[in-house]
Amino acid sequence: MRQSTGIPQLDEALGGGLLPGTLTVVMGATGIGKTQLGLSYCQSGLAQEGQRGIIFDLTTRGDSQNQSEYAKRMFGWQMSERTFVDHFDPASVWDAAQVRSDYLHVFTRGGRRVTIGDMQPEEWQEFKADLMRRLDQTIAFFYGNFVHGVRRCVIDGVEPTNQDSDSFQFHLFDYVYHQVLRKDHDWLARDLFRVHFRAQEPTINAHAYDCRSIGGLFLYTSHEVMLDDLISRPIRSGDILSNANTIIMMGKIRNETKIGRALYVAKHRGSACSEDIMPYQITEQGICFL
């Protein structure tokens, strides 16, 4: 079953929607509408799976992505945020009232650079140690939502770099995508419960889910602003675009004396898709195709 983006014209261009169990990359410059598209995709989960999608925010510079404000204005959605705590009990994932939340911002200190090369070795070691301390609760955020019916995830706030491998945001994304989203439920539970896995195994089996039913939408901020530049951008072997099942590009277009916005489905493996460049505008309700 396809996952709707919440935008009928885009679903039609995608041959019916996005394919669960795969990675979709939405690429474009800051302010082009990626977050609005991600929120629309999350909201659509309420009708299809009975639960909205979740948002994992990798922003490091302290710039707000305005997800909560957009969600409230577009859908009347009062987003709930998970916060890190000093004493965390993994068994809390079985209590939906405690663990079911819409949003997690993994980095609490703003102003950090996003490339490893911009840090001194001791800063990088400190950063990694800080991240490892948060990893258990990050896993619990995903696992706890999935066992309570969530089937879609948006990863936002990734900033542009010259090479993906230089960015610690990409390192964390790669871990989350391969070791959390695409991991069988019982193996992810092992990472969470560790030595207590056997004691929790009956409850784990009672809350089984299929990781192939979970869709992932990765919002990637590009250096390129114009859609033509995005379309002509070379894809390097091993980068995030080469590994994505679906690529949606969003950029500015020039029409004589006016500048507008347009979207293009550059790749949609395993499905027919439109080859059209689709002009749109951003309204109070989100993305509206012209």
Distance CA 1, CA 242 (A): 24
Tell me the per-residue pLDDT of 126-185, one tens digit each, with 9 for 90 and over: 777 777 778 899 999 999 999 999 999 999 988 877 777 677 788 888 889 999 999 999
pLDDT reading at 272 higher than 90: yes
Q: How many helices (H) and strands (E) does the chain have?
A: 10, 10
Nearest to 16 by CA among 268, 266, 231, 251: 268
pLDDT at residue 77 in the model: 97
Per-residue pLDDT of 94-103, as tens digits, reads 999 989 999 9
pLDDT given for residue 109 in this prediction: 52
Residue 62, pLDDT score: 55
Q: What is the mean pLDDT of residues 42-68?
A: 88
Please name the residues in contact with 165: beta carbons below 8 A apart, sequence gap of 6 or more: none
CATH 1.10.3720.10 is right for the domain spanning 8-289: no
**Chain segment 208-218, per-residue pLDDT in tens:** 999 999 999 99
Q: What is the arithmetic mean of pLDDT over 9-33?
A: 96
pLDDT tens-place string over residues 223-254: 999 999 999 988 776 677 888 999 999 999 99
Show Cβ contacts of residue 255 under 8 Å, excluding neighbours closer than 6 positions. none
Strand, coil or helix: what is 35?
A: helix
User: 225 phi and psi, to 5 degrees?
Assistant: -105, -40
Phi-psi region of 95 (alpha: psi -120 to 50; beta: other; left: phi over 0): beta
Extract long-range pairs of 199-208: CB within 8 Å, 24+ residues apart.
200/91, 203/94, 207/94, 207/147
| Burial classification of residue 113, based on how many CB atoms lie within 10 Å of its CB (0-12 exposed, 13-18 middle, 19 or more buried) | middle
Q: Which pLDDT score, from 0 to 100, does residue 230 have?
A: 96
pLDDT given at position 237:
64
Q: What does the domain layout of the chain look like in residue ranges?
A: 8-289
